[in-house]
Every structure is written in structure tokens, then in C-alpha cells.
Amino acid sequence: MNEEFKPYIPASKSMPEITPTAVILGMLLALIFGAANAYLGLKVGLTISASIPAAVISMAVIRVILKKDSILENNMVQTIGSAGESLAAGVIFTVPALFLWAQEGIMDMPSLLAITIIALFGGLLGIFFMVPLRNALIVKEHGILPYPEGTACAEVLLAGESGGSAARAVFEGIGISAVVKLVVDGFHAVPGIVTLKFESLKTELSTEVYPSLIAVGYICGAKISAYMFAGGLLGWFVLIPAIAFFGADAVIYPGTEKIAAIYASDGASGIWSSYIRYIGAGAVAAAGIISLIKTLPLIGSTFAKAVRNLKSAKSSAIERTTVDLDMRIVIGGIVVVTLGIWLVPIVPVTLLGALLIVIFGFFFCTVSSRMVGLVGSSNNPVSGMTIATLLIAAILLKLSGDTGAHGMQGAISIGTIICIAAAMAGDTSQDLKTGYILGATPVKQQLGEILGTIVAAFAIGAVLILLNSAYGFGTDALSAPQAAMMKMIIEGVMDGNLPWTLIFIGAFLSISIEILGVPALPVAIGLYLPLELSSGIMVGGLIRFAADKKNKNAQNEAGKGVLFCSGLIAGEGLLGVIIAILTVVGIVDKMDVSASFSTGWAGALILLIVLAIAVYKSAVEKKA
């Protein structure tokens, strides 16, 4: 099917892509989204994808204000701008651990230069590793891997290009989603989660009411959504009740009190945080290895073809839309970055660590690129892959005798570089998917990613130091939950008290699921993520299933549903960035009306139903 695919701009036609306007606007957005996501991730442990918000802002500036007609120029803006968000995600999940250790007097505070160099190395590796995978994942599996945000971003840009009812569907979605996000996270008038407790099972069924989750489920489809939801049910309705039943009066590491006491104080989410998260991390790691093994033949043939093309390719014989960054530059870049990781004194990584980064970096970049094709960048559990990396790195460093403060610094630096690389690979994949649909030039997009990475790397260190000075990591204001967990894992390995049993339970769950013929990766993701996320995605998958049956024409992509859901993702993303900025400057606290007015769970449930009806209605309408 993908051989017959024709992009919006044909390969025979050239249009402006890398222009001064695109570069300047893209760099500015990379800085803004990087800073906003750094704060958001440090506060709640999650980040938002910036590709679609960047595309919408680009259209507003280039198409509306500057009156220019260049869809590929808009695409370049979002390519450069989204790099800041992905790099920030990788940094904030790990680097704050160094600040936390410094607060305990174990080591010195990390310097601005050290954070910048580590971020730059990780970002560049993620892009370089993704280049030879583009043909395997983006081109050959077009129509198989949906890349929801990449597809949604393309739909947003195409809607702006075509106008009419297509544009109306997108902007209706943007408007509705923005209002919902403002009401829920701005005014706090409606709770963001609906929860139903099952006291007899010591668990709960919950779902978030955010539009983007429903939209991702709709774009992914019912099957993938169901796999993720099954993983969530396995965690919350099998494992949590089992742990609560069999271990009620026991104190089991990593918990520090009786399981019954954990449930009494924090509910089922307390058991999930203490135990299921480790099982999920093991499941994701094992499923990732299985996924890599299954794709090795395709990856190998892609690499071999790329190497053969080094000598035989002639630029005149290659279409514009198939040109990637020269493999000599890619391989040379990987070698230079690897040597830099080893030899630059300010990066506390040994030769063994540098080799680990290359090996596991490529592995997790491959897994990340494929994973975001299934569930989108916003739901890509990069932290789960980082946990697996930290486990292996810390064990090997301990065995080599590199322990203490230097060993911990080395382990977190390895994890940081790989975490950033995996996040950047996922973002690059989404951007290249958008470009593939639109007819962009891959090599120009890859250069745009590099440019956005450089800009964001030089800014993220200053943002971290500023936020730590203003709020302090590990406080109620900025708890840095992911980094705190990474810190605990490294200390657990170095001290020899990590809960390996939980990790191996997750690994063998993935193996068992794969043996049954079910793809383990989406199930493992559902197990690792909180249930409210996979439940919201499942709602969207069910709507897609119902819409496809109603339309009786799968090729119609359920009417305007994809366009409308693209708008839902864009609207929430835009407001998410705005609310993050308003939070930093202290305005959101003044907007909070929850003390005087709140609809409670009934309002959240009504909001969820209204959103579901809106998506279904848009899906069963005929495309104009």
C-alpha cells in the first residue's frame, strides 16, 4: 500500500522549507516549549507534545500574518520547535537527580556547561540513530504504524491549506479542546479524573477526561487501544488486588510500611507507585527487546541498503522526498559524539559507559521510534526505557568497581543521554511522518531537528538551575517525580536492595503475552502507565470502532473524525503550554475557582460523555 502513497507535495515539485522565517520562528518555539515542558514535567512527571501546537502557531504567523503560502515552511517550523519539548522531557526525567544528591551533600551541584553538553550529546544521538530507520518505520510501515501525532500534525497543516469544511473540523476540535483544558486545568472547575472505587478488590477504575486521550485512542484505533487497556486492567484489577490480598499485613520492599497501610493512606495508586510501576518497567523493557528482535531483519536490510547507497547513489537519480542525511555524516556524527562522551572531562562517563550509550541508545531509539508510532509521543514511556538502562548501567558500573558518587554520576549521565536520545528519536519519527505525508525533504527536516536540539540544549541547563533556585527540586512545588525514582533505582543497585522480583515478573508477563500471539509492547505500556490514561485512550478506540461500523467504509477514515481529533490534540497542546507558562508566573493560582465552585465527579463524567458524543458525531459525518 505504501508504494502507492502520494504525498501532498509531489517529489517533482520544490517549495521553500528552510527559510530565515522558519528557522527564527522554530528556534523561538523550541525555547518556549522546552522551558514550559521542563516546568510541567518537574511538577507532574509528564510532558506534552509540541509538534501540533508549533504547527498551529506557524500557520498563524506565516499564513495569516505574513500572508505566505508554504505548507513545507510551516512544517519546518514545527520540526525545529518540537525539538525543544523532546529534549526537555529527557533532561527533566533524570538530571534533577544530580541536584537532589547535591542537596544531600553527596556531590557538587551540576554546572550549566555539564547539563548543556550532556543534553546536546543525547539530542544529536537520537537524531543520528533515527536517520537510517526512517525508511523502515516511516515509509515501509506507512498505514501500519499510525504515528497519531505525526498524522494529526499533517492533517492540521493540510486543513489550513485546503480550508473549507476540513479546516472547520480541525478548528472546531481546537476550540472545544482548548475550552475543556481551560476549565479543567485553568479554572479547576471540573476534576480531570473520574474514579470508581472497588473496596472489595482494593482497587479503582479511573479515566481522565482530557480530549487528547480520546483523540489518540480514536486515531490509533480500537485494537491498539484495547491492548493498552488490557495492560491497565492487568495491573489494576489483577496485580493490585493480589498484592493487597496476599500481602496485607506484610512490609515488602520497596514499600516501607504494611501494604494495608499503603492502601489506607494512598489507595490503589499507592500500591501502583510502590510495586506495579516496577513490574511495568520490567514489562516495557522485555517487550522492547522482543520488539527489537522482531524488527532486526528490517533494520538490518535498511542499514545494508543505506551503506550500499554510499557508493552507488547519484543525486540526480534520487527523488527529493527520499533523500536522508548522508550516512557518512550520520556514522561520523555518532563516532564523534561517542568519543566526546568518553573524553570530555566534564561528562562523568568512562569508555565502558560510552559504549553502553551507543549500544542501548540505538536499541531504545529504535523501540521509541516504533512505540510513538503506536501510542504517540505524549504517551511514550521514555522513563520506563530509562529505568531499564539505569539498571544495566548501574550494575555494570558496580561490577567494574565504579561506585560511590562518581559511579552514581556516571549512571545518571548514561541514563540521561539515552533518555534524551530516545525522546528525540520519537519526536523525530513523528516529524518525519508529518513530512512524509506532506512531501517534505527528509534531509532538511533532519537538519531542522539538529538545529532545534542545539538551541534547546543551550537553554535547558539555565532553565533547570533557575527552577531549582526558585522552587527547589523534591519540594511540593517541584517534586521531580521521575528523577526521584531514577535516583532511588541507582541507589538501590549500588546498595544491593533493588526489587528484582518485581522487574522479572513484568519481563515474564511480556514474554507470556507475546507467546499468546498478542503484541506485548502496547500491553506493557498500558501496564506501566496509570490506568486513567489507557482508559481515556480506550474510550477513543471504542468511538472509532462504532464509527467504522456506522460508516461501513474503513477507507473513509470515519468521516471527519481524524481531522476533528487532530484539532482536539492541538487545542489541548496549545492550552497546555499556555497554562504551564501562566503557572510559572503565578497566574493560574489566581484563576482557581475550585474553592468556591466545583462540579465534582458528576461534571467530569458529563464532560467525558459530551466529548465522546462530539467525536462520534464528527466521525460519522461525510468528508467534504
pLDDT per residue over 226-285, tens digit each? 999 999 999 999 999 999 999 989 998 888 899 999 999 999 999 998 899 889 878 887
pLDDT digits (tens, 9 = 90+) for 179-189: 998 998 888 88
Nearest CA to 87 out of 440, 460, 366 is that of 460
pLDDT computed for residue 380 by the predictor: 65
Q: Three-state SS for 119?
A: helix
Q: Is residue 351 part of a domain?
A: yes
Stretch among 141-155, 211-225, 368-382 having the lowest mean pLDDT: 368-382
Grid cell, residue 52, equals: 501540533
Q: Is residue 579 part of a domain?
A: no
Nearest CA to 86 out of 38, 121, 157 is that of 38
- Percentage of the chain surpassing pLDDT 70? 90
The residue that leads in pLDDT, 497 or 267, is: 267
Give residue 73's domain range: 2-164+254-530
pLDDT at 289 over 90: no
Q: Which residues make beta-bridge pairs with 322? A: none
Q: Is residue 122 part of a domain?
A: yes
pLDDT computed for residue 555 by the predictor: 44
Confidence of residue 545 (pLDDT cuts 50, 70, 90): very high
pLDDT at 417 over 70: yes
Q: Is residue 525 part of a domain?
A: yes
Nearest CA to 321 out of 444, 491, 167, 478 is that of 444
Whether the Cβ atoms of residue 453 and residue 424 lie closer than 8 Å to each other = yes
Q: Is residue 90 part of a domain?
A: yes
Query: Which DSSP symbol is given to 145?
Result: B
pLDDT, mean over the chain: 84
pLDDT at 557 over 50: no
Cis peptide before 148 (omega within 30 of 0): no
Tell me the C-alpha distance between 130 and 109, whole Å.
33
Tell me what the mean pLDDT of segment 541-568 comes to: 75
Grid cell, residue 485, equals: 525514582
- CA distances to 111, 410, 416, 497 from 405, rounded to whole Å, are 16, 9, 16, 18
- Percentage of the chain surpassing pLDDT 90? 33
The DSSP result for 319-343, as a single string, is -GGGPPSPHHHHHHHHHHHHHHHHH
pLDDT at 554 over 70: no
The residue that leads in pLDDT, 311 or 533, is: 533
Confidence of residue 44 (pLDDT cuts 50, 70, 90): low
Stretch among 266-270, 390-394, 566-570 having the lowest mean pLDDT: 566-570
Confidence of residue 477 (pLDDT cuts 50, 70, 90): low
pLDDT computed for residue 543 by the predictor: 95
Q: Is residue 373 part of a domain?
A: yes
Q: Is residue 325 part of a domain?
A: yes
Q: Is residue 574 part of a domain?
A: no
Confidence of residue 382 (pLDDT cuts 50, 70, 90): confident
Number of domains in the chain: 1
Tell me what the mean pLDDT of segment 207-218 comes to: 88
